[in-house]
Amino acid sequence: MDVRDRYAGEASRLDCSGCLIIPGNVCAHHHLYSSLARGMPYHLEPPQNFLQILQRIWWRLDRALDASTVRWSAWVGGLESLLAGTTTIVDHHASPNAIEGSLDEVAAALGDLGARSILCYEVSDRDGPERATAGIEENRRFLEDSSFGLARGMVGAHASFTLSEETLSACVDLARSKNAGIHIHVAEDAADERDAEARFRTRVVTRLAAAEALGGRALLAHCIHLDDAELEVVRDSGAMAVHNPRSNMNNRVGHAPVGSFDRLALGTDGIGSDMFAESKAAYWRARESDPSIGPGWVLERLAASAHFAGSVLGEPLLGSIESGAAADLVVLEYDPPAPLTEENLAGHWVFGISSRHVRDVIVAGRPVVRDREPTQAEREPMLKESREVAQQLWTRMEEIDPHPFEPAGGS
Ligand SMILES: [Zn+2]
């Protein structure tokens, strides 16, 4: 296979004899800012529900982030993505005490590694109106910035239950003015629905539809607690729902009605970016509820993720290997113990292939992983430093109290 490095203008040759070559995986919902939380100590009362997980863990971590730790988090997460064969990351970022310029930090870290990304800042009223406004401005600033070749923007919004009507409306106005989509958490927990009913006498999706936040460019993470009417609105809108099975099990928020969507992508919600592992978890959890689901279902989810990302990135053939498609390729050193054909790839995917088979990764024609090592970074010294940075972040976080924000309607 000839690999043309668009950046260096040099052609190189990669011996892929006996290997399986697939399009790069896409993670359709990520939180790279959580990358340094792995193994983090926890000294408070154990959280009993989803809201307490946010109040006691993630809304303390995000407030401890500064520009440097935002960049380190993105770099560490981006490195793991590429090594796992994930070439495009759709991220949802929050750092309430370092908002301005934060998306540049994420884009620069991923750009250094050679990964593609679709970035947004998570607008929310939970930290007050000034930060809500700053979040909107950060999305605007990034959407107007064209200096990051492999990164594009969306308008990020946290979730209905932390958004006022004014803030939601400002997000929609920005998205409309920039021809961008809204990336938002939808009914991840029943508390989101209870809040919408208590504050607006309506359901989350109905509220978002009335605000004109839906449509074909919208990305709706989770969509677990939707009723039949909401599911119909999501289908009719053309919005893409994103299923995050490992996170949903970890947070005990329930299983999304995965068979009820016309458009359903797959994300990790921050639990790394190994889409082989996520797709296996998606398959097994779906099978537990519905035995009619087959292995091909997960490949369809990954194709949907790539199709959505491709539409934002201006690469309509992303996720395919054909003339004119983006040269985002993963070389798998997979020696199948049984016949492997086009027809039974999904079976091998679910029961055999994993990120340990990833040998080389190419993004936009540029080799970014070769022989399981990043080509654009020195892994060992960087990870040594990231462990020190993570320790400092954990120490700062110890000083931050649980977040006081409470939704209407109870947690
Ligand atoms: Zn999320």
Would the pLDDT of 3 be above 70? no
Kind plus residue range of the DSSP H or E element containing 155? strand 155-159
| Mean pLDDT score across all residues of the chain | 96
Q: What pLDDT does 401 receive?
A: 97
Residue 315 Cα, ligand 1 centroid: separation in angstroms? 24
In tens, the pLDDT along 128-158 reads 999 999 999 999 999 999 788 899 999 999 9
Instruction: Decide if pLDDT at 40 tops 60.
Output: yes
The whole-number pLDDT of residue 2 equals 46
The answer to whether the CB of 302 falls within 8 A of the CB of 26 is yes
Q: Compute, in angstroms, the gap from residue 220 CA to the centroid of ligand 1.
A: 10
Say what the pLDDT of residue 367 is. Answer: 96
- Cα of 322 vs centre of ligand 1, distance in Å, is 32
Q: How far is the CA of 305 from the centre of ligand 1 (A)?
A: 15
Place of tokens 């790394």: 272
Ligand 1 centroid–CA 245 distance in Å is 11
Q: What is the pLDDT of residue 286?
A: 97
* Alpha-carbon span 269 to 29, nearest angstrom: 5
pLDDT of 5 above 70:
no
**pLDDT at position 13 over 90:** no
pTM metric for this prediction = 0.96
Helices (H), 291-404: 296-313, 345-351, 379-398
pLDDT at 11: 53
Q: Are strands 155-159 and 10-13 parallel, antiparallel or unpaired?
A: unpaired
Using CA atoms, how far apart are residues 11 and 59, in angstroms rounded to an integer? Answer: 46
pLDDT score for 6: 41
Q: How confident is the model at residue 411 (pLDDT cuts 50, 70, 90)?
A: confident
Instruction: State in Å: Cα 96 to ligand 1 middle.
Output: 16
Residues 391 and 388: their CA atoms lie apart, in Å, by 5
**Cβ-contact 113, 376 below 8 angstroms:** yes
pLDDT digits (tens, 9 = 90+) for 287-307: 999 999 999 999 999 999 999
Ranges 77-86, 138-147, 260-269: which has the least confidence: 138-147
DSSP state of 366: E
Burial class (CB in 10 A: 0-12, 13-18, 19+), 80: middle
**Average of per-residue pLDDT across 200-211:** 98
- 296-313 helix and 275-289 helix, angle to the nearest 10 degrees: 130
pLDDT for residue 410 = 83
pLDDT of residue 147: 82
Residues linked to residue 3 through DSSP beta bridges, in sequence order? 12
| Other Cβ atoms closer than 10 A to 48 | 10
Reported as a pLDDT band with limits 50, 70 and 90, residue 106 is: very high
Residues 317, 323, 325: CA angle, nearest 5 degrees: 25
Which of left, alpha, beta for 319 (phi over 0: left; psi -120 to 50: alpha)? Answer: left
- Per-residue model confidence (pLDDT) at position 390: 98
Q: Residue 170 in 3-state DSSP?
A: helix
The pLDDT, as a whole number, for residue 7 is: 42
- The residue-averaged pLDDT of 89-96 equals 98
Model confidence at 90, pLDDT cuts 50, 70, 90, reads very high
CA of 159 to the centre of ligand 1 (A): 9
Share of the chain above pLDDT 70, in %: 97
Q: How far is the CA of 221 from the centre of ligand 1 (A)?
A: 6
Buried b or exposed e, range 86-120, using 16+ CB within 10 angstroms: bbbbbbbbbbbebbeebbbbbbbbbbbbbbbbbbb
**Cα–ligand 1 centroid distance for 313 (angstroms):** 21
DSSP alpha helices (H): ranges in 180-244?
Answer: 190-200, 204-210, 228-237
Does the pLDDT of residue 351 top 90, yes or no?
Answer: yes
CA 311 to ligand 1 centroid distance, Å: 21
